[in-house]
Chains A and B, each alone.
Chain A
Amino acid sequence: MTAAHTDALDAVADGPLGALLAATVSERRRLERRLRELESTDQLTGIANRAQLHERLAALLAPGGVQGALLVLDLDDFRLVNELYGHRHGDLLLVEAARRLALVASQFEDACLARLGGDEFALLLPDATYREARWVCAGLLNRMRQPVHLGPAEIEVGTSIGLVVLDGEPREADAALRDGDMAMYAAKAAGKNCWRQFEPAMHDDLVERLTLEGELAVALDEDQFELHYQPLVRLDGSPGLGVEALVRWHHPERGVVPPDTFLSVAERGPLIHRLGAWVLRRACRQVAEWSRCTGSITLDEVAVNVSPRQLLDPHFAMGVSEALAETSADPSRIVLEITESTAMAPNSLVQLHALRALGVRLAIDDFGTGHSSLGRLAALPMDALKIDRSFVQAIPADGEAPLVRAMVAMAHSLGLEVVAEGIETHRQLQYLADLGCEHGQGYLFSRPLPAEGVAHWMASEHGVAHWLATSQRVAG
């Protein structure tokens, strides 16, 4: 290039055309940078996405990599939060979760926090020791379950964490993520809001859960379920009896499967709707049958548990209406029990009114274990409130139980009847009767019984007549 050429180019570069070219190149680089960010960032939370986490994990697990830890985290019952509070609030919860995780991530150099999708996050901690990773899990659980404000409501959301210790041995990133998922599912199966470290046996547990899910569907087709009924006794000594319907599964090979085991599996998928519908229909049929065979003691009502996902199903009220019509059950003898947190959620109100319009009665179940706003409680179309067994069992052998006293007084001031769950001692019975609690349920009276056992229990010397006499003495 001659000096003349160089001078000419310099002149162009210094002039308006040069400035335009420079601006174009700079803009192109900015756009490329932005594109790379978009490809590796989660748009909702602003943290890394699965692709970036995968890339970082693969680099850490390559030959010559260092030790560290991978945490796979999943918010507990997030789907329910979305259904109860709406997707906008669900998104706000995800953003807040990412913010809380980011604070812990920021304590570690080179940590990578990513949203894997939905409500699942991952935290890669290169250089963390085994003991340190356990400490982080415990700290995160504590941090994540602090209350979150979603609009007018304050909720607590637990987190389940799967921990994979990376020992510096080369392996596939996908395999490490799969192990983390399995450990996280093990934490869910262990009751949620806890952490579990990956163990190879977890693979077998997952297969077992999937098998159980398949067998549940078969059990519904083959009618392997049965309802048992636990008596609800009137504590004022007046005649009358209610029962709570509780589902039992007689598996042809496994024998009796504990309700906690199969209900948690059913809750995770669409089977809960089929199982819930079966329970309701069977209970309605039983009510109709008992109504036809009136004896000396009236069976007032049958209570049926409604799962949160059932209640939020837009077709649920229609299903209840059909079950009542088909079985000719008196709606006023059916009580639908709804847990406190579900009843309180804004999206439940329309459904509760629709159910009430059918003539069924509504009760808040396990009261005291959720977060209730008194204002919202007063606005709910409820008939009764069931005090959770944990409060009843905490009634001291002598002395006051101020929480129970306050709950009964509050329920009565709202016009609600009170049922105390889990009564096991005469002292608890006496205390609750003195407070004016209307109904009691628990092993002191009876365990859950098969349908034919209820009639037998009612007639037996340890049955309702015995408790009526006891209650009359207590009330008198």
Chain B
Amino acid sequence: MSLRVLVVDDDAGLRGELRQLLEEAGYQVVGEASSGAQGVAHALAERPHVVISDLRMPGELGGLDLAARLQGEVPVIILSAYDDPGLQARAREAGAMFLIKGCRSRVIFAALEQAALSCTGVP
């Protein structure tokens, strides 16, 4: 069974590239969202195995807020343009993994498998 993933980022170009990267590797992208609030709503409705979310997005909910809202519901991987250790620590506190935008694809795939396994036992 392929993992079902939701992608949340306000940068449409980046969302598109990430979707293609994941789909080519056999993951199923069940949806995209361009804000934290939209991401939380989609995640609760679609129940993906994992949410990959940007850190900073316009609107009230950023990636860390999204992770906090979904903690215990859906595992979250934060993809960030920032390498601030403080942000990484806050992501961990919110129960999320932390990756850098533009990292190797195999690092994303490994994080997806680990996040899904740690939460639901899938696959």
What chain A residues lie within 8 Å of B83 (beta carbons)?
103
Choose among A104, A131, A143 the residue that contacts B24 (Cβ–Cβ < 8 A): A131
Q: Which of A16-24, A134-142, A175-183, A356-364 contacts B (4 or more CB under 8 A)?
A: A134-142
- Contact A146-B82, Cβ < 8 Å, known A131-B24, A135-B18: yes
Interchain CA distance A103-B88 in the complex, whole Å: 15
Interchain CA distance A141-B83 in the complex, whole Å: 15
B58 at the interface (CB under 8 A from A): no
Interface residues of B in 85-108 (CB under 8 A from A): 100-105, 107
Pairwise interchain contact B100-A103, C-beta atoms closer than 8 A: yes
A413 at the interface (CB under 8 A from B): no
B119 at the interface (CB under 8 A from A): no
Interchain CA distance A140-B100 in the complex, whole Å: 10
Pairwise interchain contact A135-B17, C-beta atoms closer than 8 A: yes
Pairwise interchain contact B100-A131, C-beta atoms closer than 8 A: no
Pairwise interchain contact B102-A143, C-beta atoms closer than 8 A: yes
Pairwise interchain contact A132-B81, C-beta atoms closer than 8 A: no
- Contact A138-B82, Cβ < 8 Å, known A107-B107, A131-B24, A132-B104: no
B14 at the interface (CB under 8 A from A): yes
B2 at the interface (CB under 8 A from A): no
Contact indicator per residue, chain A 124-152, by CB within 8 Å of chain B (1) or not (0) = 00000101101111111111001000000
What chain A residues lie within 8 Å of B104 (beta carbons)?
107-108, 132
Interchain CA distance A396-B102 in the complex, whole Å: 38
Interchain CA distance A135-B11 in the complex, whole Å: 13
Pairwise interchain contact B21-A141, C-beta atoms closer than 8 A: no
**By DSSP majority rule, is chain A's interface helix, strand, loop, or mixed?**
helix
Which of B13, B21, B81, B83 is the most central at the interface, judged by chain A CB atoms within 10 Å of its CB? B81
- Chain A residue nearest in CB terms to B80: A143
- Chain A residue nearest in CB terms to B83: A103
B71 at the interface (CB under 8 A from A): no
- Contact A131-B20, Cβ < 8 Å, known A136-B102, A142-B101: yes
Choose among A136, A146, A194 the residue that contacts B81 (Cβ–Cβ < 8 A): A146
Contact indicator per residue, chain B 1-31, by CB within 8 Å of chain A (1) or not (0) = 0000000000101101110110010000000
Pairwise interchain contact A139-B103, C-beta atoms closer than 8 A: yes
What chain B residues lie within 8 Å of A131 (beta carbons)?
20-21, 24, 105
Pairwise interchain contact B14-A139, C-beta atoms closer than 8 A: yes
- Chain B residue nearest in CB terms to A195: B13
- Chain B residue nearest in CB terms to A146: B81
What chain B residues lie within 8 Å of A143 (beta carbons)?
81, 100-102
What chain B residues lie within 8 Å of A135 (beta carbons)?
17-18, 21, 102, 105
What chain B residues lie within 8 Å of A140 (beta carbons)?
101-102
What chain A residues lie within 8 Å of B20 (beta carbons)?
131, 134
Pairwise interchain contact B11-A142, C-beta atoms closer than 8 A: yes
Pairwise interchain contact B24-A142, C-beta atoms closer than 8 A: no
Interchain CA distance A140-B102 in the complex, whole Å: 6
Interchain CA distance A143-B79 in the complex, whole Å: 11
- Chain B residue nearest in CB terms to A132: B105
Pairwise interchain contact B105-A107, C-beta atoms closer than 8 A: no
Interchain CA distance A104-B102 in the complex, whole Å: 6
What chain A residues lie within 8 Å of B81 (beta carbons)?
139, 142-143, 146
What chain B residues lie within 8 Å of A146 (beta carbons)?
81-82
What chain B residues lie within 8 Å of A103 (beta carbons)?
83, 100
Question: Would you give the shortest CB distance from A101 to chain B, in whole angstroms?
Answer: 9
What chain B residues lie within 8 Å of A108 (beta carbons)?
104
- Contact A104-B100, Cβ < 8 Å, known A131-B21, A141-B13, A143-B81: yes
Question: Would you give the shortest CB distance from A111 to chain B, in whole angstroms?
Answer: 10
Question: Would you give the shortest CB distance from A259 to chain B, in whole angstroms?
Answer: 27
Interchain CA distance A69-B2 in the complex, whole Å: 29
Interface residues of A in 89-126 (CB under 8 A from B): 103-104, 107-108
What chain A residues lie within 8 Å of B100 (beta carbons)?
103-104, 107, 139, 143
Which of A103, A108, A132, A138 is the most central at the interface, judged by chain B CB atoms within 10 Å of its CB? A138
- Chain A residue nearest in CB terms to B16: A138
Interchain CA distance A103-B81 in the complex, whole Å: 10
Interchain CA distance A141-B16 in the complex, whole Å: 14
What chain A residues lie within 8 Å of B107 (beta carbons)?
107
Question: Would you give the shortest CB distance from A135 to chain B, in whole angstroms?
Answer: 5
- Chain B residue nearest in CB terms to A103: B83
Interchain CA distance A137-B101 in the complex, whole Å: 10
What chain B residues lie within 8 Å of A142 (beta carbons)?
11, 14, 81, 101-102
- Chain A residue nearest in CB terms to B10: A142
Pairwise interchain contact B14-A138, C-beta atoms closer than 8 A: yes
Interchain CA distance A142-B99 in the complex, whole Å: 14
What chain A residues lie within 8 Å of B102 (beta carbons)?
104, 107, 135-136, 138-140, 142-143
Interchain CA distance A141-B12 in the complex, whole Å: 12
Choose among A104, A107, A134 the residue that contacts B17 (Cβ–Cβ < 8 A): A134
What chain A residues lie within 8 Å of B103 (beta carbons)?
104, 107, 139
- Chain A residue nearest in CB terms to B54: A142
Interchain CA distance A23-B27 in the complex, whole Å: 60
Which of B14, B17, B82, B107 is the most central at the interface, judged by chain A CB atoms within 10 Å of its CB? B17
CB<8 Å pairs between A and B, sample of 7 = A138-B101, A139-B14, A140-B101, A143-B81, A143-B100, A146-B81, A194-B13
Q: Given A139-B14, A146-B82, list of 20 further CB < 8 A pairs?
A: A103-B100, A104-B100, A104-B102, A107-B104, A108-B104, A129-B105, A134-B17, A135-B18, A135-B21, A135-B102, A135-B105, A136-B102, A138-B13, A138-B14, A138-B18, A138-B101, A139-B81, A139-B103, A142-B101, A142-B102
Interface pairs A-B: 4 shortest CB-CB:
A139-B102, A139-B101, A143-B81, A138-B17
